Amino acid sequence: MKTGSDKMAKLTVDTDLVDVLADLMEKKGLTEVEVTVGDQTLRLSKGGGVHTFAHMPAPAPAASVAAAPVAAAGPADHPGAVKSPMVGTVYMSPQPGNPAFISVGDTVTEGQTLLIIEAMKVMNPIPAPRAGKVAAILVDDAEPVEFDQALIVLE
Amino acid sequence: MFDKVLIANRGEIALRIHRACKEMGIQTVAIHSTADADAMHVRLADEAVCIGPPAPKDSYLNMAAILSAANITGADAVHPGVGFLAENADFAEMVEEHGHVFIGPTPEHIRVMGDKIAAKDKAREIGIPVVPGSDGGIETDEEAFAVAKNVGFPLIVKAAAGGGGRGMKVAENMERLPEALSLCRSEAKSAFGDDAVYLERYLGHPRHIEVQVLADGQGNCIHLGERDCSLQRRHQKVVEEAPSPALNATERQRIGKVVTDALAKMKYRSAGTVEFLYEDGEFFFIEMNTRLQVEHPISEMICGIDLVREQIRVATGAPLLIKQEDVKFNGHAIECRITAEDPDTFAPSPGRITDYHAPGGLGVRVDSHLYSGYSIPPYYDSLVSKLIVHGNTRNECLMRLRRALEEYVIGGIKTTIPLHERIIIEQAFINGDYDIHWLERWMGLK
């Protein structure tokens, strides 16, 4: 799921980096330097000032960076990933203040409630599709989730 | 003004809505099926929520999932786009019950115009001329025969719950009438879940002329002129133009006034289109679409008004600022609906777009979600692009359209671009001398 904060990450100007790059340009007689870290790019050009911007999701095949709407890459592709069957809000315990349904390391049986997804004021318990051990919990309490989003990894 | 709008649709219309929102400083939420994760508007939207697997009933028609997405993203309003839930009165009601604004008409107006029999009654009641036919639904063959005696043949049997060109059967004479009735009933039952049918006179050589309206729910209603959508294949529009080559200014003003007076009286809200069959100088109401239409861009081009922007504005409760005397018609516009189909057989051609080059230049507008590398999913309708051209005169438009079609490159799939190139050089099209049967007859001859 893409949220507002993914799309345009806060633009922070790393002034130390700017100083280092400016010195480098002077020493080496460069007119333009561009540095990319993650989805932020810093470009200095002589006479052109300092520019910081985030990559726009360009419509290029395969190598596109920013707009992939998948949660965590590794765990979500795990064969044991339990995916959300609906859109809603995850709750890790039956009631606020109660202990969570499961913790990492727990062994669960088929049909055991792993967590709840609330959609339109209806609480939907999400059962374990098979017995197994909880290897990872990929969502937090009260986090909004989308269809097919990986919630838990069961081994 | 809204802070955040959820776009409850896909494809080029979702991109259209996203663009209007962005130009108003509104944040967008794109909802999509797993098959549409790489759609252009999903990539561009501020937020995206996957709501289900590819099948429309589990995604774009899944009201609970869409409402849940509106809830978790905190959207102020929902724009339903075209098709899917756009004319679903229950959905409109539920959106409002859950504290969001539905960008469109009231559920009551959607309901009345969605039932084609009730819509016709309503039209008659508010003073819009209708096609002669049965007074409401037909239950028995005997009732049908009685209507036929009054109205004459040929007759067309139509599904009350139909629309968009579906659920219709023609009966040329009394012998054919029972069969047409039962065929239409069973088709209607399976397509719309409702076998109620009604009868109308079948017009021999009508044009399909529709009037675009915009209203604010407070008694103000304007029209943005008419569109001629007579070029249809199996009741689906292929090419549309505005204004209609068949109408003069007097007729345009007259039908515009009839429509806006009627809709102002019923306090209609948002955009809508009143569709007519026009024959020998007479207009006959067939249906009203209580939503934005696919071909809305040609009206935008001749009036210079952004229809989606105005829909959003009136949805906030603001009155319409534009008065009828402010609406100025300038030049001519034509739209070609380009689909991912074989131009001769119409076999669907989904697949991956390789080269993509859209035409440009003065007076050329392309409303499309395509991009190089995009894979068209096979689960949805085949409309991939709308090529719209505007010119100061109809002739300029024709030349520009020919030029633009020549430039357009969509590689990797088959499209109907070659079909459009053939249509626009036909004398009948050049003369503007065609009716709703022309395209199918011409294609039958090819």
Q: Which two tokens stand for residue B17?
A: 């809505």
Mean pLDDT of chain A: 80
Contacts of A150 in chain B (CB under 8 A): none
Confidence of residue A1 (pLDDT cuts 50, 70, 90): confident
Contacts of A146 in chain B (CB under 8 A): 49-51, 69
Q: What local confidence, expressed as pLDDT, does residue A66 receive? A: 37
Percentage above 70 pLDDT, chain B: 99
Question: pLDDT tens digits, residue range B362-404?
Answer: 999 999 999 999 999 999 999 999 999 999 999 999 999 999 9
Q: What local confidence, expressed as pLDDT, does residue B167 receive? A: 75
Give CA–CA dist B322/B330, Å, rounded.
16
Q: What local confidence, expressed as pLDDT, does residue B343 receive? A: 96
Q: What local confidence, expressed as pLDDT, does residue A75 receive? A: 67
Q: Is the dihedral of CA A49, A54, A55, A57 positive or negative?
A: negative
Identify which of A2, A120, A149 has the shortest CB distance to residue B68: A120
Contacts of B42 in chain A (CB under 8 A): 2, 67, 69
Best residue in B31, B32, B50, B368 for a mutation probing chain A (most A CBs within 10 Å): B50
Catalytic residue among B291, B313, B337, B400: B291
The minimum CA-CA distance between B244 and chain A, rounded to whole Å, is 38
Contact yes or no for B48 and A148 at CB 8 A: no
Q: What local confidence, expressed as pLDDT, does residue A51 receive? A: 54
ipTM over 0.85: no
Question: pLDDT tens digits, residue range A5-56?
Answer: 554 445 667 788 888 888 888 888 888 888 887 767 788 887 654 555 544 4
> Which of A56-65, B3-12, B242-251, B252-261 is predicted with the least confidence, judged by mean pLDDT?
A56-65
Structurally, what CATH architecture does the domain formed by B132-201 represent? Answer: 2-Layer Sandwich (3.30)
Higher pLDDT, B338 or A122: B338
Residues 6+ apart with CB under 8 A from B237: B208, B229, B231, B294, B295, B337
Confidence of residue A65 (pLDDT cuts 50, 70, 90): very low
CATH 3.40.50.20 placement within chain B: 4-103
Q: What local confidence, expressed as pLDDT, does residue A16 receive? A: 84
CATH code of the domain occupying B4-103: 3.40.50.20
Q: What local confidence, expressed as pLDDT, does residue A116 receive? A: 96
Tell me, yes or no, if B51 comes closer than 8 A to chain A by beta carbon: yes
Contact yes or no for A87 and B373 at CB 8 A: no
Q: What local confidence, expressed as pLDDT, does residue B126 receive? A: 86
The minimum CA-CA distance between A4 and chain B, rounded to whole Å, is 5
Give CA–CA dist A115/A130, Å, rounded.
15
Pairing of strands B356-357, B282-289: unpaired
Closest residue in chain B to residue A85, using alpha carbons only: B52
Higher pLDDT, B89 or B140: B89
CATH 3.30.1490.20 placement within chain B: 132-201
Q: What local confidence, expressed as pLDDT, does residue A28 receive? A: 86
Q: Angle CA(B164)–CA(B116)–CA(B182) in degrees, nearest 5?
A: 85
Give the residue-averaged pLDDT of B61-88.
97
Give the residue-averaged pLDDT of B419-442.
97
Give CA–CA dist B195/B189, Å, rounded.
5
Where do the domains of chain A lie, and which CATH numbers do they carry? 7-54 (no CATH), 73-154 (2.40.50.100)
Question: pLDDT tens digits, residue range B292-331?
Answer: 999 999 999 999 999 999 999 999 999 999 999 999 999 9
Chain B (332-371) residues lying within 8 Å, Cβ to Cβ, of chain A: 371
Give the residue-averaged pLDDT of B205-230.
97
Q: What local confidence, expressed as pLDDT, does residue A72 receive? A: 43
Identify which of A1, A60, A61 has the shortest CB distance to residue B49: A1
Contact yes or no for A146 and B37 at CB 8 A: no
Contact yes or no for B69 and A146 at CB 8 A: yes
Contacts of B27 in chain A (CB under 8 A): 4
Residue A69 has pLDDT above 50, yes or no: no
Q: Which residues of B142-160 are buried (b: 16+ CB within 10 A; e: fewer)?
A: ebbeebbeebeebbbbbbb
Identify which of B40, B51, B64 has the shortest CB distance to residue A146: B51
3-state DSSP assignment of residue B260 = helix
Query: Catalytic site residue B400?
Result: no
Q: What local confidence, expressed as pLDDT, does residue A5 receive? A: 54
Tell me, yes or no, if B64 comes closer than 8 A to chain A by beta carbon: yes
Best residue in A64, A65, A87, A140 for a mutation probing chain B (most B CBs within 10 Å): A87
Contact yes or no for A1 and B50 at CB 8 A: yes
Q: Which two tokens stand for residue A64?
A: 């596109």
Percentage above 90 pLDDT, chain B: 88
Q: Which CATH number fits domain B207-445: 3.30.470.20, 3.60.21.10, 3.40.50.720, 3.40.640.10?
A: 3.30.470.20
Question: pLDDT tens digits, residue range B150-209?
Answer: 998 999 999 888 766 677 899 999 999 999 999 999 888 887 788 899 999 999 899 999
Closest residue in chain B to residue A1, using alpha carbons only: B49
Contacts of A88 in chain B (CB under 8 A): 68, 72
Interface of A with B (CB under 8 A): 1-4, 7, 57, 59-62, 67, 69, 86-89, 119-120, 144, 146-149
CATH 3.30.470.20 placement within chain B: 207-445
Residue B231: beta bridge partners?
A: B239
Question: pLDDT tens digits, residue range B24-47?
Answer: 999 999 999 999 999 999 999 999
